Structures are given as C-alpha cells and as structure tokens.
Amino acid sequence: MSEIANQIAETATVPAKAERKVSTLRMLMRTPQGAIGVIIVTLFFLSALFAPWIAPYDPFALNIPDRFQAPSWNHLLGTDQLGRDTFSRILYGGRIAVQLAGIAVGASLVIGLVLGMMAGYGPRWFDNLMLLIFDTIRSFPTIVMAMAVVSLTGPSLKMVIIIFIINAVPGFGRIARTQTLALRNTDFILAERSLGASSVLILRRHIMPNVVGPLLILAAMDVPVVITVEAGLSFLGLGVLPPTPSWGSLLNEGFRIMRDTPWPVIAGGLPLVITTLGFTFLGEALRDVFDPKLRKEL
C-alpha cells in the first residue's frame, strides 16, 4: 500500500511542478527587465542551436573578391579580409559560446551544489576542509590562472572549460553551504531526522529545492563571465584557434583590419554586449522571483 501511495503522490506532483514552472516564467515576464532578459537569452540559444539553418553562408568559405564589404542585404554584417560572411561567423561563434557556457556553468553548479550541501550538513572537519579548498582556489584570479595554464598546455577549448569549472565551483559551493547551514536546524528538518530519514534523503528532498534558487541566479550571472573569459583568451590567441569562429577570434581579426573596415570589430563586440545584458537582466529577474524579500507583487 505504501508503494502505491508513493506512486500516486509522485504522479500528483508532476502537474504541480509544471504549474510552478509556468508561474515562474509568468513572474519573469511581468517586468520589462525580466521580459528583455528572457527574450535575449532565448534568442541566444536558438540562434546557436539553429545556426546551420539560419546562417546564409558557409562561415569557412573564402570569397576574396567580396572582402571588406560593408553591411548590405547580401551580407548583413559585412565581410572580413577573406570575404567570409561576418554574420554567419557570429552565429557559429555563438555555438562555441553555448557549448562553453552550458558545460562549464552546468558542471560548476552541480559540483558546487553537492560539495556545498555536504559541507553545510556534514561534520565540522569536512566543512573546514571544504572552506580551505574553496578559499585557496578563489585566491587565484580566473584570467591569470587561465592564461598561465593555457600557455603551458596550449590553446584548447576543453582546457578553458576545466579552468572555469575549477574557479567557479567555490562560488556555488559557498552559497550552497550557507543556505544548508541556515536550513539544517529548522523544524521540518529536525522532524525528518526524528522520523529516521537518511541524510541523503533530507538533502535531496528538502534542502536541495531550497538551495538551488540562489544558485540559478549565480549561474545566470556567470554565463556572460565565462563567455567573456573565452573571448579574451581567443582574442589573445590562447583560446579557440582559427579558422574556428568564436567571438574572441572575430574581435582579434577585426582589430587587425580596422583601418580597412570597422565592421568586423563592431559585429564581434555586439554579441558580447547583448549577451551580457540579457543574462544580467535575467539574473536580476530571477533574484526577484526566488528571494521573497525582494519579490514584488504586481
């Protein structure tokens, strides 16, 4: 009977979860800032996902007679020094940004969430050990560490992802630890303990749903950071190597031909600015939704 009751309870929670997701989206779209953030972030992912179908030209195709073209109906953002369509290369560069941000931020969130909850709910010695590791890693600036490691190992997108994960985990871990410490002695957690619930069950069912909200806000704020780090490394020749299009390499190529045409620099910088604004707006809107003290009833 208990198994049947559990199945019925799990089935009943599915519509409730879907309703909560719809409610969260509605709350995000109620404010202009949230609506703009959702729209920009959605366009960012869709343009990267459907780049092979949206891009009007092959981003690697050379067309020397059409080099240094200004924006026109044939080339919406002009062409570079080799006649390649800049708009197509920006779309394919967005695929690099999505891949990097999705893997790096997603892995950092999951690892930081697990380690932070373990530190906040586990024994004191483990908490102190995690704090020592977090503080040690955070003492190294991300850009400096990335430049040092990539200089030794060679330019690689995988290495950029690993470096960002290592540097971002302490931020997620500290927030998860703080939230877990605030929840571990609350009445409903103590009641679960008295009923014999295991630590894993308490962390998964009761603490994690209350901790993940602030982590999503931090994740939204970290996406433009990791994209900018990759762009900076690629601009310096330490990230994605040509001819693979990335926003940083587009800026690098654009600066070298700025005297001939300014459009590659402008086109390469706009995605970074727009993406940063979109995720910043989304993060601010998520903060208002998940933080009851800042939530505004409209």
Expressed in percent and rounded to 5, the helix, strand and coil fractions of the chain are: 75, 0, 25
- Structural domains in the chain (count): 1
Highest mean pLDDT among 127-131, 208-212, 230-234: 127-131
Residue 159 placed within a domain? yes
Share of the chain above pLDDT 70, in %: 88
pLDDT of residue 4: 41
Residue 41 placed within a domain? yes
> Is pLDDT of 248 > 50?
yes
Residue 3 placed within a domain? no
pLDDT of residue 261: 79
Residue 126 placed within a domain? yes
* 169 Cβ neighbours under 8 A, 6+ residues apart: 108, 111, 112, 115, 134, 137
Are 38 and 282 in contact, with CB atoms under 8 Å apart? yes
pLDDT in tens, 83-93: 888 888 899 98
pLDDT of residue 244: 78
CA atoms of 285 and 111, how far apart (whole Å):
24
String of DSSP letters for 213-270: HHHHHHHHHHHHHHHHHHHHHHHTTSSSPTTS--HHHHHHHHHHTTTT-SHHHHHHHH
Residue 55 placed within a domain? yes
Residue 158 or 105, more confident: 105
> Is pLDDT of 295 > 80?
no
What residues make up the domain containing 171?
Answer: 31-290
Share of the chain above pLDDT 90, in %: 4
* 285 Cβ neighbours under 8 A, 6+ residues apart: 28, 31, 33, 34, 37, 38
pLDDT in tens, 93-123: 888 888 888 888 899 999 999 999 888 888 8
> Is pLDDT of 298 > 60?
no
Residue 205 placed within a domain? yes
pLDDT in tens, 23-46: 666 776 777 787 888 889 899 889
pLDDT in tens, 180-229: 888 887 777 777 777 777 777 778 887 888 888 888 888 888 888 888 88
Instruction: Please compute the mean of the pLDDT values over residues 4-17 and round it to a whole number.
Output: 42
With bands split at pLDDT 50, 70 and 90, how would you rate the model's confidence at 22? low
pLDDT of residue 107: 92
With bands split at pLDDT 50, 70 and 90, how would you rate the model's confidence at 19? low
Phi, psi for 85 (deg, rounded to 5): -70, 120
CATH value at residue 39:
1.10.3720.10
Residue 8 placed within a domain? no
Residue 5 placed within a domain? no
Query: Considering the entire predicted model, what is its pTM?
Result: 0.78
CA atoms of 215 and 207, how far apart (whole Å):
13
Burial of 121 (0-12, 13-18, 19+ CB in 10 A): buried
With bands split at pLDDT 50, 70 and 90, how would you rate the model's confidence at 20? low
